[in-house]
Structure 1
Amino acid sequence: MFFQRNNTTRDSVKRFLAQVLAQDCNTVPQAFSTDALIVCEAGLTPGRRRFPYRDPYLLMVSFGMGTVVSTVAPRIPVVRRLLDGMHRDEIFSGKGMHVLSQLVTMDDQFLAGPDLKFSCSQQDFTPCKPPRGLRMEVLQNSAIHSLYQIDGFRHALRYAEHSSRPDTIAVAGYLDNDLIGVAGACADSDDLWQIGVDVLPGIQAKGVGKSLVSELTHRVFKAGKIPYYSTSVANLHSRNLAQSLGYFSVWSEIYAVSDRKTPDQNKLGRH
């Protein structure tokens, strides 16, 4: 699957993301630009993000227009009936979550989200200067594994040496030689890298996390990739951090999760 990756402008990044999310949902990019509710059958399509598939699958995505729901065939008529007549805002609110929770609970699943997804272009990127005394170290690929010996940075690192979504770049922040924060990028697909950040308690809101994400974003662009950043609806600090660096909101998603483990090397879906 050939995607036209271009991280230069906001429009080019959004077009690329629509291509990737269309593969996630087994639909076409144009589905995200309509006001309709579109329910399609999930499939293991090439080019999608490399999350492990959890059967029965359910993923809901909105780019701010309508809603696209990707799920397994037996659920399609049920989802259409449950969401019939609902506006996008209702679907992504307590009302929609309630009716869909009843559906997925029957399969020992629960709904996660809504998550807000941000991305950035080179044109929008607004780097920041690190606070005084912060030393940053950049690690790549297998060099990142040395950080796995230190717990507490699980929003930033995958802590997995063999993964279909490997850690590719990490920026570690030190104060007086003490590790106080890490920002990491993992390859959710070949060209779309997800950014996460963790800062030790007591250090937050002092510019450390912002500086680490700023340096990491620069490195992702330098690698020719497109960064994206995920937050929960309630995490206002994380949202503000991303937006202060030039990240812009692109889509929202809700997905079904279960406790069953699926090998991620041969399945796709949400981890």
Structure 2
Amino acid sequence: MTNEEILRIAMEQSAVDANCLAEDFVKTENKIVYSKERPDARRYLELPLACHLVSYGTNIVASVGKEYEGLVRHYIEKYPVEHCFETPNLYVLNDAFAKYDLRVCFMAEYFLPDVRVLRKEYCSYKIRILENQDFQNLYTSEWSNALCGDRRELDVLGVGAYEDERLIGLAACSADCDKMWQIGVDVLPEFRRQGVASTLTGHLAWEILRRGKVPFYCCAWSNIKSARNAIRSGFRPAWVELTVKPTAFVEKMNL
């Protein structure tokens, strides 16, 4: 799979999630579409959404509830693309949605593998390929980034690092949609800074590609450790997303 094919598949999935066309992400002008339920969307998305902004760098595609079209259009046309995803401009969007009892909630950067630099590195620990049945006893706090207890059936593949028979690091992926699997990784504190995370992430990315799927990686902009691991493993920034959710949902997350 080439980088161009990987990017095309990612844009096609983003188009499903946002209810737009893949080519909308490469236009120079912004695009507003209406959010709707899609059976082939990423499985953790709760569609339709009041406001979901997506940018691959050249413009913003805003997937919105019809009643919020004017509000969002005013916002994305007023500020440059990159500033629409950060403060202080972001306060304008948040304040505008507050009257509807909605708030800016999720903000994240997404990475795709660069097959020109993606490679299998090795660390000083044994590496094993794991599948869904191997995860059953691993839904604990140590592996909460690699695995998702709420969607266990989607955790399809992993790569573990072992000291003797002790699991000390785990990268695993969830089948969030038909063509793309999302990678998460955890390493026990005493084994960090030894190249374990990048070794596991790179190995898992190749295993995913071997199965004909596109691996992707997500983290917050402020999660420097995670972003560095993505880069070190051969991933590169591809797109960003911002999602508005009900105030009650946001407040629950802040408890």
TM-score by length of 1: 0.83
Q: Secondary structure at the match of 2:191?
A: coil
Please say if residues 25 and 55 of structure 2, whose CA atoms lie closer than 8 Å, have aligned partners that are also in contact.
Answer: yes
Find 1:183's aligned residue among 157, 171, 175. 171
2: CA distance between counterparts of 1:126 and 1:247? 10
Find 1:201's aligned residue among 175, 189, 196. 189
Cα RMSD over matched residues? 2.2
In the alignment, what sits opposite 2:136? 145
| Structure with higher RCO (Cα < 8 A, 6+ apart) | 1
Shift of 1:151: 2.6
In structure 2, do the counterparts of structure 1 residues 47 and 126 end up closer, same or farther at CA, with 3 Å as the change threshold?
same
2: CA distance between counterparts of 1:98 and 1:125? 38
TM-score by length of 2: 0.88
In the alignment, what sits opposite 2:17? 24
Give the % identical residues.
24
Q: Which portions of structure 1, spanning 4 or more consecutive aligned residues, are displaced by more than 6 angstroms?
A: none
Q: Secondary structure at the match of 1:50?
A: coil
1: CA distance between counterparts of 2:171 and 2:192? 13
Find 1:249's aligned residue among 215, 237, 240. 237
1: CA distance between counterparts of 2:116 and 2:77? 40
Which amino acid in the other structure matches residue 218 of structure 2? S
1: CA distance between counterparts of 2:55 and 2:73? 16
Please say if residues 10 and 124 of structure 1, whose CA atoms lie closer than 8 Å, have aligned partners that are also in contact.
Answer: no
Shift of 1:176: 4.0
Q: How many aligned positions are there? A: 249
- Which has a greater percent of helix? 2
In structure 2, do the counterparts of structure 1 residues 181 and 227 end up closer, same or farther at CA, with 3 Å as the change threshold?
same
In the alignment, what sits opposite 1:265? none
Please say if residues 50 and 244 of structure 2, whose CA atoms lie closer than 8 Å, have aligned partners that are also in contact.
Answer: yes
Which ranges in structure 2 are unaligned for 5 or more consecutive residues?
A: 251-255
In the alignment, what sits opposite 1:57? 50
Which ranges in structure 1 are unaligned for 5 or more consecutive residues?
A: 1-7, 262-271
Find 1:37's aligned residue among 15, 30, 36. 30
Structure-to-structure mapping, 1:156-171, within 5 angstroms: 156-160=146-150, 163=153, 166-171=154-159
In the alignment, what sits opposite 1:224? 212
Please say if residues 146 and 186 of structure 2, whose CA atoms lie closer than 8 Å, have aligned partners that are also in contact.
Answer: yes
